[in-house]
Structure 1
Amino acid sequence: MSSYKTAGSQDITSSSVVGAPCWVSLTTRDMRAAEEFYHAVLGWEWRTGRLGDEYRFASVGGVPVAGVSAVETLGQATAAWTPFFAASSADETVARSRERGGTTAVGPLSFPPGRAALLADRDGAVFGIWEGELVADWQQWRRAAPAFMELHTRDVFDAAIFYAEILGWASEGAGSCEVHYEGEEVVLRSQGDVVARIHAGAVGSAPDPAIRPHWQVHFTVDDVEACARAALAHGGSVLRGGTRATEAAVLGDPDGARFVVDPWPVRGDA
């Protein structure tokens, strides 16, 4: 994953922000369409790293912010954005997930200079973990394309316990994420930033993947309405919102992957 480095970037490892989201990655059938769409909607530039043409890196101002991998066929799976969380040990994190009822889809696999795995929690929400050198300095990544993650799940507290136990949330370790219960939500903070939220309301057997437990990636933008118009103009869809600058919009890319654009500032950081 971290095969793209910018000039002057520091070698920051996952251990420095353990438990926090540290990367987002898109799986799609059509790499070219995805590149054109996200360039138009979010202004991203694209380049290839050492992983070759089948994994491309998006950047903002020279800072890598996201990746996209091309998969010719996804079978019954849908194109989707996946958040990756920093882990001090991929092997230990995968083992803890399995012990607590999670499943392992892929890995851990080596992608020098690190290791990655793709997992699902007890309710089936898919997420990734990354151990090793980060693609970019974590604070640079946060500033270049401000993002946070939302987990829509059936049981907020059960989910919070699962992730806390496998990712070290609210532990005494250096750099551990803070967990706060605010109303019926769980809010995760790292280095003072809101980086994730957990909501209830998902239905495990729902036929619509947007209703089943899942992680949703949010990107903060200056102009939500402009993003919505660009999405429609480049083969995407506006699933909710997009008519008011002060409200978030749920967008779909040409392959159906859903994401949210939020007006600045990041929700929860105001």
Structure 2
Amino acid sequence: MPMRDTPWPAGTPCWVDYGAADLAAAKEFYAALLGWEYTGGDEEFGGYLNAEKDGAQVAGLGPQMDPDDPPRWTTYFATDDAAATVTRIREAGGTVVVEPMEVGPLGTMVVALDPQGHPFGLWQSGEHTGVQRYNEPGSLVWNEAAVDDPDAARAFYGAVFGFRFEAIPAGEGYTTFATGGDPLGGLGGAVPGVPKGWSTCFAVTSTDGAVATVTSAGGKVLLPAEDTEYGRFAVVADPWGASFSVMEVPAG
């Protein structure tokens, strides 16, 4: 039962959240799919919710802030110094969309675009340290980017976060990234039929069951379930078009 309640090391994907076109319906959809319950929703934080699994926070949901920006899952990387990381983002050719913004005592957030236009976030922990439960059903298990120019993306994210990259055997150019020992996520070329940019993968007990839940609720299958050496995997989209993936892992 992997748990963490202290700040994540800089460069680690530490949080994911979702800007919902229909927050009430999205809550029901993800609760049915991943077994989530919710806390928060305070007006002072714009109705933002923490999704929890067995009492530990695993993701965030909030109202869609820009109706012209499609619903999506956003990956946030931990930082010890949001201002310094913003400087590196700009120096490496990225764009800062939301400047470092204190969210009360919870922490400081940033939203940025990489040079290929893909959004990502930064989170400098305060009282909110990010994901508390991970790598088990109903929680975050992996983050990866699919881009047109993987070499350029590796140069950018390497400059911003100090990542080192390691190729996956027979991975057709796919690499993992890390700052220390274990891989933190992956980066590779664009895949036909799957949206580009950062994607979020949630662990589930049954990939086929999760796909059935998604489709019965009006979602779509973007990449059918297939067995990999890491587990059975599929890419789906929720009823509002936000894509994510599911990976079968053993129950804790």
Question: Given the alignment, which residue of 166, 169, 176 partners 1:180?
Answer: 166
1:256 aligns with 2:249: no
Partner AA of 1:69 in structure 2: G
1:82 aligns with 2:82: no
- What RMSD in Å do the two structures reach over aligned CA positions? 2.8
The residue that corresponds to 1:215 in the other structure is: 198
1:34 aligns with 2:26: yes
1:110 aligns with 2:99: no
Q: Is the 8 A contact 2:79 2:85 kept in 1?
A: yes
The 1-side partners of 2:50 and 2:12 are apart by: 20
| Pairing of 1:40-189 with structure 2 (within 5 A) | 40-48=32-40, 52=45, 54-71=47-64, 73-75=66-68, 77-111=69-103, 112-133=105-126, 135-136=128-129, 140-143=133-136, 145-170=139-164, 179-183=165-169, 184-189=173-178
Partner AA of 1:248 in structure 2: F
| Cα displacement (A) at 1:110 | 0.5
| Cα displacement (A) at 1:145 | 1.4
Deviations along 1:113-147, whole A, 9 cap, x unmatched? 31110011111111000112363576644456142
Partner AA of 2:210 in structure 1: C
SS state at 2:11 partner: coil
Structure 1-normalised TM-score? 0.79
The 2-side partners of 1:124 and 1:58 are apart by: 28
Q: Is the 8 A contact 2:15 2:131 kept in 1?
A: no
The 2-side partners of 1:24 and 1:230 are apart by: 21
The 2-side partners of 1:248 and 1:85 are apart by: 23
The 2-side partners of 1:29 and 1:109 are apart by: 23
Q: Is the 8 A contact 1:148 1:194 kept in 2?
A: no
SS state at 1:88 partner: coil
| Cα displacement (A) at 1:257 | 0.7
Deviations along 1:212-268, whole A, 9 cap, x unmatched? x41111112110111111112223222231488963221211211110001227xxx
The 1-side partners of 2:115 and 2:50 are apart by: 30
Partner AA of 2:80 in structure 1: S
Q: Is the 8 A contact 1:160 1:186 kept in 2?
A: no
Partner AA of 1:168 in structure 2: G
Structure 2-normalised TM-score? 0.84
| Cα displacement (A) at 1:202 | 6.3
SS state at 1:36 partner: helix
Residues 138 and 247 (structure 1), Cα distance of their counterparts in 2 relative to 1, 3 Å cut? closer
Deviations along 1:97-117, whole A, 9 cap, x unmatched? 111110111121111231110
**Where does the alignment leave 5 or more consecutive residues of structure 1 unmatched?**
1-8, 171-178, 266-270
Percent identity between matched residues is 29
Q: Is the 8 A contact 1:29 1:73 kept in 2?
A: no
**Where does the alignment leave 5 or more consecutive residues of structure 2 unmatched?**
none
Report the number of matched residues.
Answer: 240
SS state at 1:247 partner: strand
